[in-house]
Chains A and B, each alone.
Chain A
Amino acid sequence: MTSQPFVAMNQIEKSFNGVPVLKKVTLEVEKGEIHALLGENGAGKSTLMNILGGVHQPDSGQIFIEGKQVNMANPHISQSHGISFIHQELNMVGDLKVYENMFLGSEIRNKAGFLNVEEMCRQTREILAQLGVFLNPKEYVRNLATSYKQLIEISKALLHKSQLIIMDEPTTSLAEHEVGRLFELMRNLKKSGVSIIYISHKLKEIQAVCDRYTVLRDGQLVKTDDMQSGNLEEITKLMVGKAISQERFVHEHEFGEMALEVEHLSSPGLFKDIDFTVRKGQIVGFTGLAGDGRTELFESLFGYRKKYTGTIKVKGKAMKITHPRTALQAGMGYVPKDRKENAIIKDLSVVHNMSLSSMGNFERLGFIQDKRELEKFSSYKKALNIKVANPRITIDKLSGGNQQKVIIAKWLEADTDILIFDNPTQGIDVGAKQEIYQEILALAKLGKAIIILSSEAPEVLRICHVINVMYHGEITARFMGDETNEEEIMHYATGAKREGEHIG
């Protein structure tokens, strides 16, 4: 290869709110190379790419393009150096036509200043043809399948004469034959000297198309090497980290009666044929990669989504759950993921957030008793170690960990037998994480049935009795918590392996 890489990111460091996300990461991409960027969720891949794309600024470190140092102060500078970023969520305007999307922001105009539609359509057709796609440039984008939108994004990158294209999980929405076409295209691009950084969890794909790989773990560079010299097993090990850093939390205790039985639960396009059971006192984990359908599954179970089929039995009784209220009455509580969007009510005070799901506990003759609310809150404040001086301030002023504890207090107050936690430690610092794990274990000991959804395999490994791995809406494997490891879970979560029928 050439002596001078097309892009060199040197000793990049970045932290958010004092939490280091990238620690002295170095990445070099040669001209005409397909470079895989690997790592688990939260390893720092997107942050690194956002720095390259000019979205974030590094705290220290330099970026060189063809040997010249560049200050990527904003996305425009990045683009002008020939870098295109194709995000996982496509940025297309559905109500515009194909060519209008292609030329959005860089429209071709004729001498009079009007849009030169014919020229734009001609160029669009030309570029799409290079990809082997034949589309009417005047078709509205909203009428196209997702895979076409993906291809249009790539065409856009070509149109801007990009030298480096960053692709973030481009194949999640593509069918098998479309993936094949994409790979062929990537190889063609490579031949014409375009570099590609390819982010994906699907190791098989990476092996098929990439030249080299870089693995990040916890914000640190683990290894950069040629693709041929590594095998998949080894790379998985690198991503996960050999030493499982933390002890298992779980203490064995007797489980009680059956709390929740789910049979043949399906919802078109989201999940299919889900079976599992949870006993009182048991902690059951669900893990998988983005798009595995676990959140949708439990949103359905909790009555937030209604289009599903199958049976749900709570304490042996079949239930039709059509609204979160009926789920609560049946004895289910749900601590959702993405706290800011789904859990906290930022204009309400800390106390009022705590009491929201069980107002009946605080009423007398239909009127809310402020004093009772405050008393109850101070007992939770002590039990869960919630750090807040004045519980009457709005909840958005609390740190993430304390917000989460308030949400947990809300469901403890509702006193349900089954508790579902979706990504319970998302965006929470290490200390508060431990406290939340301990609280969850204490609840299990008290005889509550606990379900934990997590994108982080180590989390479910640490606290769950049983672990279900999901891939594309199906449970692909089920393990006892102490009989598996991260690598094995990764195999099933990436679809590299499946246990098929004989799970359980």
Chain B
Amino acid sequence: MDNINTKEYSPESPSMKSRLSWLWSEYSVIIAFIIIFIAASVMNPRFLDINNQLNILMQVSIIGIIALGMTVVMLSGGIDLSVGSVLALAGVISVLALNASGSILIGVFTALLVGAFAGFLNGLMVAKGRIASFIATLGMMAAARSIALYIAEGGSVSGEVSGFTAIANNNVWIFDLPVLIFFVMAVLIYIVMHKTRFGRYVYALGSNEKAAMLSAIRVDRIKIGVYTLIGTLVGVAAVIETSRLNSISSSSSGAQYELDAIAAVIIGGTRMTGGRGKIIGTIFGILILGILNNMMNLMNVSPHLQGFVKGLIIIIAVVFQKRE
């Protein structure tokens, strides 16, 4: 991307050391991924099994889709804590719409709409209400979960339309459909961030909001757009989540998804304060999390300890990326 021609901008003959440090600072997440991947294959031969590999991809696809949106939000200098709750809310309402209408299309469309609307409200609070994104989305997190619980009376709702489960359980060639949806979304978000003015404005806003505004950018609209975008992606994730088991739980679905999504973005090297980071980084970040989970399952590590390992990895990632 932007720094491929490193030779030109450091004319005083880049030493081997400075080149290595550049490679590390730009692509540390990929290097870390490769190291972890090799370590995993050595530690357990079953890891390299193609079915296991596809399984990892399947497992990360839902969080992956959310993490793409989270990358955009964090590039703009914000954060969205409401994704898990909004996923539950979008799932519950879309199942109700699905059952009432009998149309899969309406079900899917409802999920996207609910997600987008919740995101739009977040954006409105952040941009127009000038509420810190942490606070605004924390409020949305509590409110959306509560409404989901109220609608579903605290329990789960199940789909009654045959064919809905196909979305998450069908394959195209060897790939599960959710994996392909994740890839398509990743390509779309990549294009939006690097080939459209919206993406350019998001980077500008996250890097220097006042300068962005003085460059005649409608900062408020970009912020609202950013939160609406992640809301819509959460809607997509909600469809997959619901379709997988043909039901959604108002109390437990989506719980702590925000943490995994934020972890993936941070491991992927996006700066917490915005303006700097890459979609590619987030994809490798989510893959690292997926491999770690998979390894711990294969090696029969207690599920209670998995959070500990995840926490450790996040902190290590941030420590290494701190050298700017």
Contacts and interface: CB of A to CB of B under 8 A. Distances in A.
Report whether chain A binds chain B.
yes
A227 B49 CA distance: 90
Interface residues of A, number: 35
A327 B216 contact: yes
Given A348-B207, A349-B2, A392-B3, A368 B196 contact: yes
A384 interface: no
Nearest to B204: A345
B218 to A, nearest CB: 5
Contacts of A114: none
Contacts of B4: 392
Given A349-B2, A393-B9, A410 B200 contact: no
Given A324-B215, A344-B208, A367-B195, A359 B2 contact: no
A359 B197 contact: yes
B11 interface: yes
Contact of A341 (B2, B5, B210, B276): B210
A179 B155 CA distance: 71
Contacts, number: 89
Interface in A306-344: 323-325, 327-328, 334, 336, 341-344
Contacts of A122: none
B151 to A, nearest CB: 38
Contacts of B212: 345, 356
B2 A392 contact: yes
B204 A348 contact: yes
Contacts of B215: 324, 345, 356-357, 410
A356 B9 CA distance: 22
Nearest to B205: A345
B5 A356 contact: no
Interface centre among B8, B11, B197, by most chain A C-beta atoms within 10 angstroms, is B197
Most chain B beta carbons < 10 A, residue from A323, A325, A356, A410: A356
A346 B197 contact: no
Given A324-B216, A389-B9, A366 B196 contact: yes
Given A359-B197, A368-B196, A392-B2, A343 B214 contact: yes
Interface string A475-502: 0000000000000000000000000000
Contacts of B276: 347
B224 to A, nearest CB: 14
A286 interface: no
B218 A346 contact: no
A360 B11 CA distance: 34
Nearest to A323: B218
A465 interface: no
A328 B214 CA distance: 10
A390 interface: yes
Nearest to A334: B214
Contacts of B207: 345-348
Nearest to B195: A367
Contact of A368 (B197, B216, B218): B197
A345 B208 contact: yes
Interface in B268-320: 275-276
A324 B217 CA distance: 7
Contacts of A302: 214
B43 interface: no
A353 B200 CA distance: 10
Chain A residues touching B, majority SS: mixed
Question: Quick one: which of B203, B204, B206, B216 has the most chain A CB within 10 A?
Answer: B216
Interface in B129-146: none
A346 B206 CA distance: 11
B321 to A, nearest CB: 15
B48 interface: no
Nearest to A362: B197
B313 to A, nearest CB: 26
A201 interface: no
A233 interface: no
Nearest to A346: B207
B277 to A, nearest CB: 9
A343 B217 CA distance: 12
Contacts of A344: 208, 211
Nearest to B75: A347
Contacts of B200: 348, 352, 356, 359, 368
A482 B2 CA distance: 48
A163 to B, nearest CB: 42
A95 interface: no
B219 to A, nearest CB: 9
Q: Which of A348, A394, A397, A410 has the most CB of B within 10 A?
A: A348
Interface in B1-57: 2-5, 8-9, 11
Interface string B212-231: 11111110000000000000
A389 B218 CA distance: 32
Nearest to A397: B9
A414 interface: yes
A336 B195 CA distance: 28
B235 to A, nearest CB: 23
Contact of A328 (B197, B206, B216): B216
Given A341-B210, A367-B195, A389-B11, A325 B218 contact: yes
A367 B194 CA distance: 9
A304 interface: yes
A66 interface: no
A392 B194 CA distance: 14
Interface centre among B208, B214, B275 (most CB of A within 10 A): B214
Interface of B: 2-5, 8-9, 11, 191, 195-197, 200, 203-204, 206-208, 210-218, 275-276
15 contacts: A336-B214, A341-B210, A342-B210, A342-B214, A343-B211, A345-B212, A346-B208, A348-B200, A356-B200, A356-B215, A357-B215, A357-B217, A368-B195, A389-B11, A393-B2
Given A342-B210, A347-B207, A414-B216, 17 more contacts: A304-B213, A325-B217, A336-B214, A341-B210, A342-B214, A344-B211, A345-B208, A347-B206, A347-B275, A347-B276, A356-B200, A363-B197, A367-B196, A392-B2, A393-B2, A393-B9, A397-B9
